[in-house]
């Protein structure tokens, strides 16, 4: 029996949905990429533990994805099992100023719910279209705040299916990076927020969102900032002074609004995007001496 047959024979709980040959382009904000051999929306911890054990037993490559807002998927797709968290894995519980949130929860959804609860600390997140899991892996942030700043601990699943709770320090949050990638899957985070006035928190959240959509492209398909900011500088500024705004390869173009965004304007392929990334890196290095490092994660490139 091959792994696909074995997977389809597992008796998952009612809301867990398994599909084969699933186009990943429709699960990413870039709208780019081929198919995943198998794609499963997992609704319970028990089903996730079954998948962790399946992964070990069958040695099938596994990728947990969130909202696909920081992801470039290969044109050949992903030859393995792609997992997305839904149901109880996206739950949210508020106890005073302590919030426990599932990795499948949307970040803008969290931001809005916290403002309604009069809890401050995640106002910056309304304009980041990811999941809590993706925000933990990436230590997503904006306007000087990062998601890790409000996290007290994180629960992860190991590939044995066992859960492990890590402290803030053990999660190793850095600029657009954390140590959580080492685990099979990020499950929940506990946040410590600050009590505040609902109107003030909502107003701050809306102001930050407005500033974001005025200065960054929000209509065309993209994956957010393509490059990390070098220390004390901005990748967008470096791309701008290198004269690369509007530069196009195939269907991919450097945004004319913000140089650190690559847009899928006309059925861009992943190769178009990677060619444009290499072109930008080469020209920014020549012009400024700085080597830009990518922030966007890649899936299925071998
Ligand atoms: C228009 C736009 C604006 C953006 N603005 C910002 C911004 O201001 N600041 C910022 O930091 N980012 C920004 N981003 C990028 C992106 O939204 C963030 O990086 C976000 O945190 C990614 O979350 P995601 O759920 O989409 O992750 P995905 O893109 O799905 O995945 C990212 C990585 O996390 C891993 N992952 C996701 N969930 C889990 C999990 N539960 N367990 C284990 N691994 C997991 C994936 O395997 C992958 O390696 C923007 C993106 C867009 C499209």
Tell me how far the alpha carbon of residue 65 lies from the centroid of ligand 1, in angstroms. 9
Tell me how far the alpha carbon of residue 29 lies from the centroid of ligand 1, in angstroms. 10
Residue 7 CB contacts under 8 Å (≥ 6 apart), including other chains: 18, 38, 54, 60, 81
Q: What is the distance between the alpha carbons of residues 17 and 19, in angstroms, rounded to a whole number? A: 7
**Of all atoms in ligand 1, which is nearest to the CA of residue 132?**
25
Tokens encoding 261: 């965004």
Tell me how far the alpha carbon of residue 279 lies from the centroid of ligand 1, in angstroms. 24
Q: What is the distance between the alpha carbons of residues 89 and 186, in angstroms, rounded to a whole number? A: 10
pLDDT at 260: 98
Tell me how far the alpha carbon of residue 189 lies from the centroid of ligand 1, in angstroms. 15
| Structural contact between residues 168 and 206, judged by C-beta atoms closer than 8 angstroms | no
pLDDT at 302: 79
**Rounded mean pLDDT for each run of 10 residues along the chain, 302 residues in total:** 94 92 97 98 97 96 98 98 97 97 98 98 97 98 95 97 98 97 98 98 97 91 97 96 97 97 97 98 98 98 88
Kindly give the pairing relationship between strand 62-65 and strand 78-85. parallel
- Look up the pTM and report it: 0.97
**Of all atoms in ligand 1, which is nearest to the CA of residue 136?**
21
Q: What is the distance between the alpha carbons of residues 127 and 124, in angstroms, rounded to a whole number? A: 7
* Residue to mutate (ligand 1; options 52, 55, 69, 257; most atoms within 8 A of CB): 69
CA-proximal residue: ligand 1, atom 52 (nearest): 224
Fold classification of 3-87 (topology level): 3.30.43
* CB atoms inside a 10 Å sphere around CB 52: 21
Work out the angle at residue 80's Cα, subtended by the Cα atoms of residues 78 and 81, and round it to the nearest 5 degrees: 110
Q: Which CATH architecture has domain 218-299?
A: Alpha-Beta Complex (3.90)
Task: Indicate the domain borders of the chain.
Answer: 3-87, 91-200, 218-299
Tokens 């890790």 correspond to 148
Tell me how far the alpha carbon of residue 69 lies from the centroid of ligand 1, in angstroms. 5
Tokens 């705040």 correspond to 145
CA-proximal residue: ligand 1, atom 34 (nearest): 134
Query: Nearest Cα to 215, choosing from 142, 138, 294?
Result: 142
Q: What is the distance between the alpha carbons of residues 66 and 41, in angstroms, rounded to a whole number? A: 11
* Residue to mutate (ligand 1; options 84, 102, 137; most atoms within 8 A of CB): 137
Tokens 């911890």 correspond to 45
Beta bridge partners of 263: 222, 253
Q: What is the distance between the alpha carbons of residues 300 and 82, in angstroms, rounded to a whole number? A: 11
Beta bridge partners of 35: 23
Each residue of 205-245: pLDDT tens digit? Answer: 999 999 999 999 988 999 999 999 999 999 999 999 999 99
| Structural contact between residues 43 and 198, judged by C-beta atoms closer than 8 angstroms | no
Residues with Cβ within 6 A of ligand 1?
29, 63-71, 85, 103, 127-131, 133-135, 137-138, 140-142, 185-186, 218, 222-224, 297
Tokens 């149901």 correspond to 87
Cα–Cα distances (Å) from 176 to 75, 76, 132, in that order, read 25, 27, 14
Q: What is the chain's percent helix, strand, coil content, to nearest 5?
A: 35, 30, 35
pLDDT at 89: 97
Q: What is the distance between the alpha carbons of residues 194 and 120, in angstroms, rounded to a whole number? A: 5
The CATH number assigned to the domain with range 91-200 reads 3.30.465.10
Tell me how far the alpha carbon of residue 2 lies from the centroid of ligand 1, in angstroms. 32
Tokens encoding 236: 């967008």
């Amino acid at each position: 029996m091959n792994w696909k047959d074995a997977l389809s024979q597992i008796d998952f709980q009612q809301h867990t949905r398994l599909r084969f040959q699933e186009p990943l382009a429709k699960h990413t904000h870039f709208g780019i990429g081929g198919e995943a051999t198998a794609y499963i929306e997992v609704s319970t911890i028990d089903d996730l533990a079954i998948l962790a054990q399946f992964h070990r037993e069958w040695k099938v490559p596994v990728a947990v994805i969130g909202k696909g807002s920081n992801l470039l998927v290969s044109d050949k797709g992903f030859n393995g099992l792609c997992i997305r968290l839904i149901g109880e894995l996206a739950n949210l519980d508020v106890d005073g100023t302590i919030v426990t949130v599932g990795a499948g929860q949307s970040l803008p959804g969290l931001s809005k719910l916290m403002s309604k609860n009069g809890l401050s600390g995640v106002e910056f997140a309304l304009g980041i279209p990811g999941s809590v899991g993706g925000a933990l892996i990436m230590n997503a942030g904006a306007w000087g705040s990062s998601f890790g700043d409000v996290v007290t601990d994180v629960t992860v699943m190991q590939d044995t299916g066992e859960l492990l709770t890590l402290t803030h320090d053990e999660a190793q949050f850095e600029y657009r990076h954390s140590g959580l990638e080492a685990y099979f899957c990020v499950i929940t985070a506990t946040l410590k927020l600050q009590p505040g006035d609902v109107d003030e928190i909502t107003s701050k959240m809306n102001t930050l969102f407005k500033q974001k959509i005025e200065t960054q492209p929000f209509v065309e398909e993209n994956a957010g900032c393509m490059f990390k900011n070098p220390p004390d500088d901005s990748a967008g500024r470096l791309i701008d002074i290198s004269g690369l705004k509007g530069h196009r390869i195939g269907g991919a173009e450097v945004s004319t609004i913000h140089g650190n965004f690559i847009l899928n304007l006309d059925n861009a392929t992943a190769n178009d995007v990677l060619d444009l990334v290499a072109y930008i890196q080469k020209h920014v290095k020549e012009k400024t001496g700085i080597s830009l490092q990518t922030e966007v994660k890649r899936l299925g490139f071998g």
